[in-house]
Amino acid sequence: MQLPQHEPLHENFFQCPRLEPHELEELRAMAVQNSMDLYAKSRIRGGQRDWTLCEDNKDVKIYKSEDLDHVPKWGRLFMYAATSEVVATIEEFVGLFKNDTTIQAKEFSRRFISRAIDSLVLYSVLKPTKQQPHEKVSIIWRAYAPTMGGKLVQNRDNCILECHHEFSVGTRRGWIYSLVSIDLASCPNMEDRLGLVRVRDYGTGYVVLESARRPGYLDITYVNHADVNVGKKEWFLNSLGQKTRFAGMALMNLCRHTSKIDQFLREDRLARTPFLSVNELVPLDSVGACSLCSKKFRPWSKRLNCWKCGMVTCRNCNRPWMVKQKGYPTLTDICTKCSLCRPTDKSTESRAAPSSPSYTVATSSKFDDATSIASHDFSSYVETEVYPNH
């Protein structure tokens, strides 16, 4: 069975009516509430969910928890969470998710939604401002290729409310990138028309918070809470009773991707400093040993220049990095020493918390102290450490 290929939709494919001011206000409130809910779910210890460790890797730990509130027809629904630590600032992390320009959108897609085969912004509900550079709310439609199963599994799509939101826990700054499904009459289920199976997202995204134990580090939690559903042409998954297993494997793969965030941060830091020209590089045949590990070169040894410091290194001390040059990602050989760059002064600008906007958000009782869309203080209901020890 071969499923039809998806052709990108025209930018005016969805006929979206203009939103009234009160509708925009409701969407902003909904986006912030989902961010708060995502924060609550991200608390591995002492939170609202019972999380079980199911994979412990060097760079990332993965947990799962059964969702008893949403029971799909095809089986049991599990949510997954991945935790990690990186050396970074809030500004650097937020920079990974900027997608306001074409170049930024392509870089964001390459890193975080490489499976996306189509995407359209339906509404821009709240745009970043000088006073609130880390706040943003949009409604987006995306179509995805399957993470596994190849041509036997249908493509997916979803209509999501996306929110970028800054908050605080005491003196520690944090930021949330949250997604939740939203129903729009102008963006209906299109499985019969285009073969796209509609995903139901109950609150997925990243929660990042300055570490309480290690200054200069960020605690990162990625939560994936979605029902990938079963397509009409995927009957074999149900007949074999494997839908829950395949869905879990797909979501676990997405959680493992969290381990690449440190790499993305280093790529951006490397892009902020100049590269050497060819005539500034140390000639490869003028050095008899690696400048880092001092391993002697043999006649057949691979010698590489670092385009940051120009030194000659061996294969083990140099690797290609996908670094933007003149605005475009380019594979560039950089030595281990230069790749271990730390946050620069530029990345720590605007450390002050943004001022509150002109509107407020109604919240449930457990979030009574968090009424402003910006700079929420969550410390009033944090009773235990938010993130587990790594």
Asked whether residue 282 falls in the same domain as residue 264, the answer is: no
Which pLDDT score, from 0 to 100, does residue 386 have?
Answer: 36
Q: Which residue has the tokens 């880092």?
A: 292
Query: What pTM value is reported for the model?
Result: 0.83
Asked whether residue 114 falls in the same domain as residue 25, the answer is: yes
d(C-alpha 8, C-alpha 115), whole Å: 14
Kindly report the length of the chain: 390
| Amino acid identity at 187 | C
Residue 295 in tokens: 């391993």
What region, left, alpha or beta, does residue 294 occupy, with left being phi > 0 and alpha being psi -120 to 50 degrees? left
Which pLDDT score, from 0 to 100, does residue 4 have?
Answer: 54
DSSP designation for 11 = T
Q: Find the CATH number of the domain harbouring 90.
A: 3.30.530.20
Residues of the domain holding 242: 21-268
Which pLDDT score, from 0 to 100, does residue 358 have?
Answer: 29
To which H or E segment does residue 34 belong?
Answer: helix 21-41
Tally of domains in the chain: 2
Asked whether residue 227 falls in the same domain as residue 333, the answer is: no
Which pLDDT score, from 0 to 100, does residue 47 have?
Answer: 79
pLDDT one digit per residue (tens) for the chain, 390 residues = 445 567 888 888 999 999 999 999 999 999 999 999 999 999 998 878 899 999 998 889 999 999 888 877 767 889 999 999 999 999 999 999 998 877 788 888 889 988 888 999 999 999 999 999 999 999 999 999 887 666 678 899 999 999 999 999 999 999 999 999 999 999 999 999 999 999 999 999 999 999 999 999 999 999 999 988 878 777 666 665 566 777 788 888 889 999 999 999 999 999 999 999 999 999 999 999 999 999 999 989 999 999 999 999 999 999 999 998 877 889 999 999 999 887 764 444 444 443 333 222 223 323 333 333 344 554 443 333 333 333
- SS3 for 284-344 is HHHCCECCCCCCECCCCCCCEECCCCCCEECHHHEEEEEEEECCEEEEEEEEHHHHCCCCC
Q: Which of 145, 144, 201, 212 is nearest to 177 (CA)?
A: 201
In a domain, 293, yes or no: yes
CA–centroid distance for 29 within its chain: 22
Asked whether residue 126 falls in the same domain as residue 224, the answer is: yes
Q: Are 248 and 258 in contact (CB under 8 A)?
A: no
In a domain, 209, yes or no: yes
> How many C-beta neighbours within 10 Å does residue 13 have?
13
Domain end position, chosen among 231, 249, 268: 268
Asked whether residue 206 falls in the same domain as residue 332, the answer is: no
Q: 3-state class of 177 per DSSP? A: strand
> How many C-beta neighbours within 10 Å does residue 271 have?
17
DSSP designation for 82 = E
Asked whether residue 220 falls in the same domain as residue 71, the answer is: yes
Q: Find the CATH number of the domain harbouring 299.
A: 3.30.40.10
Cα end-to-end span (Å), the chain: 45
301 φ, ψ (degrees, to nearest 5):
-70, 145
Domain end position, chosen among 268, 301, 332: 268
Residue 209 in tokens: 């918070």
